[in-house]
Structure 1
Amino acid sequence: MLVLLPPSEGKAPSGAGAPLDLAALSLPGLTPAREAVLAELAELCAADEDKAREVLGLSEGLRGEVAKNAGLRTAGARPAGEIYTGVLYDALDLASLDPAAKERAACSLLVFSGLWGAVRITDRIPSYRCSMGVKLPGLGALGAYWRAPMASVLPAAAGDGLVLDLRSAAYAAAWKPKGQVAERTATVRVLHAPTRKVVSHFNKATKGRIVRALLTAGAAPEDPAGLVEALRGLGYAVEAQAPGRAGRPWTLDVLVTEVH
């Protein structure tokens, strides 16, 4: 099972560890693209703080994020699972997983990123600020920039098993599973059962809980139908929509009654 996650907007501090080693990151086929984004982002942030803040869409209160980006090559690096914070990652709570679940998380979780393309939670990265919605002056819109590198690397990473896609729309734009991979892909929406509406906060929290529950239970569904069974077995109310034609993903609606 491969689980596709969005990153968090906010991130934990880099700390004092050894600096980034791009060549050591997972999915080495993305290395040239990562180097290009890193080079332009660091140069932009070192050269013109105001322009960088405008490009990155940062408020005055987040001006310090520009300096953070300027120093990415020398900043300390930590496992991505420790860098990403926020509602989904708080609910997932990687640090408190038992050893077997942590091992499953290391193998199955893939976090998408405007800067790195996608990383495993064990990949050591510095704290940064660069969403997939950013349009760099040289490389252009990152969502579009990453499509070709991702298309060359992600099908092999997906293998022949289930792909559980929990990404937000901006990050989903960087790679859309196609063909047989798409047919093994399930996208998930979290809906408030009485209203059938998506609410951002509990949508993220529930997705984090879902991933944690699957990892803790050692669930290994091989396809979307198996995922539906696994989630129902874990106590979730799930409505599944199989694709209407070949080469399309499944859609799963997880219904929750409490907004928290």
Structure 2
Amino acid sequence: MLVLLPPSETKADGGDDRCLDLDSLSFPELNPVRRKLADALVELAGDVPASLSALGLSERQRGEVERNARLWSSSTTPAVLRYTGVLYDALGADGLTGARRERAHRRLAVASALFGVVRADDPIPAYRLSGGSTLPGIGSLRSVWRPVLEPVLADVDELVVDLRSGAYASLARIPGAVTVRVVTEDAHGRRKTVSHHNKAHKGRLAAALATTAAEPTTPKDLVEVARAAGIPCEQVSETALEVVTGA
């Protein structure tokens, strides 16, 4: 099973002494595009106003441009620890040990505008690039990633649980992947998509799936793992689940 997480705009600082080495990352067939985008971000960082505009940043976020300027020389840390925010707080990867940690590293991957997709323990630096960005001289990330990323993800020979948000899902379709929607249900049984706590619920679901001793191979198995962890989950189609919260 592969649980594909969305990335986050916010990223932790620091890491170890290793710099970015594309050959150390999973899915090496993505390296030509990774290198092209990384080089483009570093070059763009030389023009701060152009970087702020292309990346949709404010003047107060100049530090993000400085991060991009240091892409090839800054320290790295495992991807699952680099990304921060509500979903990753709920995932709690930094507190995993032993067999649970090993299972999580084997099962978790993160979608990335810069790297396409990385495994949980792939060492990456802090950077700033969003899935909906368009880079000067390159174009939209969707046009860059889709031709190369879709075949890679289509070749994943295991059950894929797709927790990506819209901008990242558009970078590559994954036939047969199981998607998850977080919904509320009112007293009349009417459901609507949750926005406020969506990330926290998906983070808890990802934690349950990543660390379970079971080996889920079907959507029904996913539901059983979720419910065993106290997460109210239902299968609503062949490839779709809903996590149902109170109104």
Which residue does 2:43 correspond to in 1? 43
Please give the TM-score of this superposition, normalised by the length of structure 2: 0.93
Give, in whole Å, the separation in 2 of the partners of 1:15 and 1:51: 28
The answer on whether the counterparts of 2:209 and 2:222 sit within 8 Å (CA) in structure 1 is no
What one-letter code is carried by the residue in structure 2 that aligns with 1:6? P
The answer on whether the counterparts of 2:212 and 2:225 sit within 8 Å (CA) in structure 1 is no
Partner residue of 1:186 out of 166, 173, 178 = 178
Give the deviation of 1:95 after TM superposition.
1.3
Please give the TM-score of this superposition, normalised by the length of structure 1: 0.89
Give, in whole Å, the separation in 2 of the partners of 1:75 and 1:233: 41
Which residue does 1:211 correspond to in 2? 206
Give the deviation of 1:99 after TM superposition.
1.4
Which residue does 2:28 correspond to in 1? 28
The answer on whether the counterparts of 1:79 and 1:123 sit within 8 Å (CA) in structure 2 is yes
Q: Equivalent residue of 1:227, what SS?
A: helix
Structure 1 residues not aligned, in runs of 5+: 244-249
Give the deviation of 1:16 after TM superposition.
5.0
The answer on whether the counterparts of 2:108 and 2:210 sit within 8 Å (CA) in structure 1 is no
Residues 102-149 of structure 1 show CA distances to partners (whole Å, capped at 9, x for unaligned) of 111111111011111111111111100001111011221112311111
The answer on whether the counterparts of 1:16 and 1:75 sit within 8 Å (CA) in structure 2 is no
Which residue does 1:144 correspond to in 2? 143
* Equivalenced residues, count: 244
Give, in whole Å, the separation in 2 of the partners of 1:108 and 1:189: 20
After TM superposition, the structure 1 = structure 2 runs for residues 126-165 of structure 1, keeping only pairs within 5 Å, are 126-156=125-155, 158-159=156-157, 161-165=158-162
Q: Equivalent residue of 1:127, what SS?
A: coil
Partner residue of 1:223 out of 218, 243, 246 = 218
Give, in whole Å, the separation in 1 of the partners of 2:41 and 2:95: 34
Give, in whole Å, the separation in 1 of the partners of 2:185 and 2:214: 25
Which residue does 2:79 correspond to in 1? 80
Q: Equivalent residue of 2:164, what SS?
A: coil
The answer on whether the counterparts of 1:87 and 1:201 sit within 8 Å (CA) in structure 2 is no
The answer on whether the counterparts of 1:109 and 1:121 sit within 8 Å (CA) in structure 2 is yes
Which residue does 2:166 correspond to in 1? 169
Give, in whole Å, the separation in 1 of the partners of 2:13 and 2:48: 20
CA RMSD after TM alignment = 1.6
Give, in whole Å, the separation in 1 of the partners of 2:98 and 2:16: 25
Which residue does 1:246 correspond to in 2? none
What one-letter code is carried by the residue in structure 2 that aligns with 1:66? V
What one-letter code is carried by the residue in structure 2 that aligns with 1:173? S
Residues 14-58 of structure 1 show CA distances to partners (whole Å, capped at 9, x for unaligned) of 345221111111110100010011111110112x10011000000
Give, in whole Å, the separation in 2 of the partners of 1:60 and 1:41: 17
Give, in whole Å, the separation in 1 of the partners of 2:128 and 2:174: 26
Give the deviation of 1:100 after TM superposition.
0.9
Give the deviation of 1:162 after TM superposition.
1.4
Give, in whole Å, the separation in 2 of the partners of 1:240 and 1:119: 27
Give the deviation of 1:209 after TM superposition.
0.6
Give the deviation of 1:193 after TM superposition.
2.6
Which residue does 1:254 correspond to in 2? 243
Q: Equivalent residue of 1:146, what SS?
A: helix
Q: Which runs of 4+ in 1 moved over 6 A?
A: none
Give, in whole Å, the separation in 2 of the partners of 1:75 and 1:217: 34
Give the deviation of 1:80 after TM superposition.
1.0
Give, in whole Å, the separation in 1 of the partners of 2:137 and 2:220: 43
